[in-house]
Structure 1
Amino acid sequence: MKLMTRQAADPEGRMPLMDHLRELRNRLIKALLALLAGTIIGWIFFSPVWDFLKEPFCALPQSKDLNGRCSLVVNGIFSSFFLRLKIAFILGLVISSPVWLFQLWAFVAPGLYRKERRWTYLFMGAAIPLFFVGTALAYVTVDKGLSIFLGFVPDDVAALISVDQYLGYVLAMLLVFGLTFELPLFVVILNMAGVLSSHRIRRSQRMIIFGIFVFSAVATPSADPFTMLALALPTVLLFEVAALLAFLNDRRRARRPDPYAGLSDDEAAPLNIEEIDAELEKGETRH
C-alpha cells in the first residue's frame, strides 16, 4: 500500500532506492528458489541426462574397454559426486530459465522505453532458438572431433578418458557453438540502433569472414579442421543473413521523409505535435 502511494505521487513512476533493493531481493529469492527446484529435478533425472551426454563418446570404437563396454574413469573419491552435482546444476539452470529470465525482465522492463522493449522482445525471441540450434549442432559434432584425435590411439592401447575431461569438453563445445550463433544477432541489433550501417558491414565483410574462421579455430576445444568448419560455415551463413537484414533495414530507413530537409541553418524546424505526444508517452512509461 505504501509503495502504491509513492508511485501514485510520482508521475514518472520512479521508486526510491530502498524499494528498488527490496524488489531486487524478492526477485533474486524467487529466481534462486526456481534454480534450487530445477537442480533437484536434475539430480533425480541424472541417469538419462548422463546417458545422453556420453552417447557421442560411446559411439566411438576407442571408447570400449577390454570387455567391450563404454568406459570413462574418475580420478578421486569425490569426482563422481561433483559430476552428478554439476550436471544437476546445469540441468536446473536450463529448467528454471523461464522463471529467472522472467524475474530479470520484470525488474528491468519498467525502466525501458517502448522501443527498447520491442528490441528486447526481438533479441530474446531470436537469441534463444539460435542458442539451442548451436548447441544441437555442437552435440552432433562432438563425436567427429573426438574420433579424429582418438583415432591416433594404437589398437593395443586403451584410451582412459576421465569424466571431468570429457564433460568439460562437451560443455565447452555446447557453449562455444551456442554463443557464437548469437554474434550475427548483435549485428542486426546494432544496425537497428543506428550504430552499424549496412555499408560499413559490406565494406568490412571480408575481414569479418576471415575473423570468423580465425575465431572458430581458436575457440573450439579440439581445434580440428572438421569442428572449425562446422562452426565457421553456419556462422558465416548467419552473418550473411544479418547483413541482408541490415541492408533491408537501412533501405527502409532511407525511404522515410526527412522533416528537416530543405531548412536553412537559421530556420525553425517544423513542430510536430504527434512526435511530442509520443515522446511524452514514452517518458510516462519509464520506471
Structure 2
Amino acid sequence: MKEQTFWEHINELRKRIIYIILFLVPSFIVCFIFSDYILSIISKPVGDLYFFSPIEAFSVKLKLSFLCSIFISFPFIIYQIWKFIEPALYSNEKKVLIIGFISSLILFYSGSLLSIFIITPIGVKFLMSFSTENLKALIRANEYLNFLLFMTLSFGFLFQIPIIMTILSAFKLINPKFYSKNRKIIIFLIFVASAIITPTVDTFSMLLLAIPLIIIFEIGIITSKIVYKEK
C-alpha cells in the first residue's frame, strides 16, 4: 500500500477524470453518428417513433448517444476508478475487488443485453398487440427511450444479486445456509417478481427472466459458501 499526499490524490483523480473524458467524447461522437442505426434497432418492436416539438428529435439523438457512450465506456470508467483506489489497497483487497468488479460487469451486461434484445422486445410486442382499428399506438421517442432505459437498468441491477449475496456472507451478515434453507421460498419470490417486472402477462416472458435469475441465485449460493468458509 502506497502513501500519497493530498495533492497527489487530487492530481491522480484529475488524471483519471481526464482519461474518462477523452474516452467518452469519441465514444459519444461515434454513437451520435450511428444514432439513426441504433434507433432503428431498438425501435423494431414498436415501428416508427414520433416527436412533438422541433427540438425533440435532436435531443433524443443526443440522449441516446450519451447513454450508449456510457454503456460502452462503463468498463473503462470502472478501470479508471480501480487505478485511482489501487495504491491504497493491500494485495488481498485488490484480489477481492478485481474479482468483484469483473463479476459485477459481466452480470450487469448480461442482464442489460437480455432486456434490450429479448425481454423488452417481446414485452413491447405483446403490449402493442392490444391496439385495434380504433386504438392506434403513437409512441413518443423520448418516452420509449426512457422505458427502454428503465428496463435495461432494472435487469442490469437485478443480475447483481450474486454479488450482494456474496458481500453479505463475506461480512458474516447472512449465513449461506439461510439461502439453501429458504431456496424454495426465494425461488417462488423470484417467479412472483418476474411476473410483476415483465411488461407482459404471458408465461414465456416471465420464464425468460425467472430462469436466469434462479441460475444466478444458485451461483450466489456457491460464491457465498466460498467466502464464508474463508472468513
Which category of TM-score, normalised to the shorter sequence, fits these structures? Answer: 0.7 to 0.9
Unpaired segments of 5 or more residues in structure 1? 1-11, 59-70, 255-287
**How far apart are 1:32 and its partner, in Å?**
2.0
The separation in 1 between residues aligned to 2:59 and 2:194, in whole angstroms, is: 30
Q: Does 1:116 align with 2:105?
A: no
**How far apart are 1:247 and its partner, in Å?**
3.6
Is this contact kept in 2: 1:172–1:221, CA < 8 A?
A: no
The separation in 1 between residues aligned to 2:2 and 2:103, in whole angstroms, is: 30
User: 1:222 aligns to what?
Assistant: 199
**How far apart are 1:245 and its partner, in Å?**
3.6
**How far apart are 1:184 and its partner, in Å?**
1.7
Is this contact kept in 2: 1:123–1:189, CA < 8 A?
A: no
**How far apart are 1:101 and its partner, in Å?**
2.1
C-alpha deviations, 1:200-250, integer Å up to 9, x for none?
2223434433443454455x3736455444323321221022213434555
User: 1:20 aligns to what?
Assistant: 9
Q: How many residues matched?
A: 229
The separation in 2 between residues aligned to 1:188 and 1:172, in whole angstroms, is: 26
Amino acid at match of 1:36: V
Among 89, 103, 115, the alignment partner of 1:126 is 103
Shift in alpha-carbon separation, 1:98–1:129, aligned structure 2, 3 A: closer
RMSD: 2.5
**How far apart are 1:106 and its partner, in Å?**
0.8
Shift in alpha-carbon separation, 1:96–1:115, aligned structure 2, 3 A: same
C-alpha deviations, 1:170-195, integer Å up to 9, x for none?
22221111211111222124334544
Is this contact kept in 2: 1:153–1:159, CA < 8 A?
A: yes
Bigger Rg, which one? 1
Unpaired segments of 5 or more residues in structure 2? none
Amino acid at match of 1:142: T
Among 130, 133, 138, the alignment partner of 1:155 is 133
**How far apart are 1:136 and its partner, in Å?**
2.4
More displaced 10-residue stretch of structure 1: 106-115 or 154-163: 154-163
User: 1:41 aligns to what?
Assistant: 30
Q: Does 1:90 align with 2:67?
A: yes
C-alpha deviations, 1:153-172, integer Å up to 9, x for none?
11344311111122122222
Identical pairs, percent: 27
**How far apart are 1:80 and its partner, in Å?**
0.4
Q: Does 1:181 align with 2:167?
A: no
**TM-score, normalised on structure 1?**
0.70
**How far apart are 1:119 and its partner, in Å?**
1.2
The separation in 2 between residues aligned to 1:13 and 1:147, in whole angstroms, is: 55
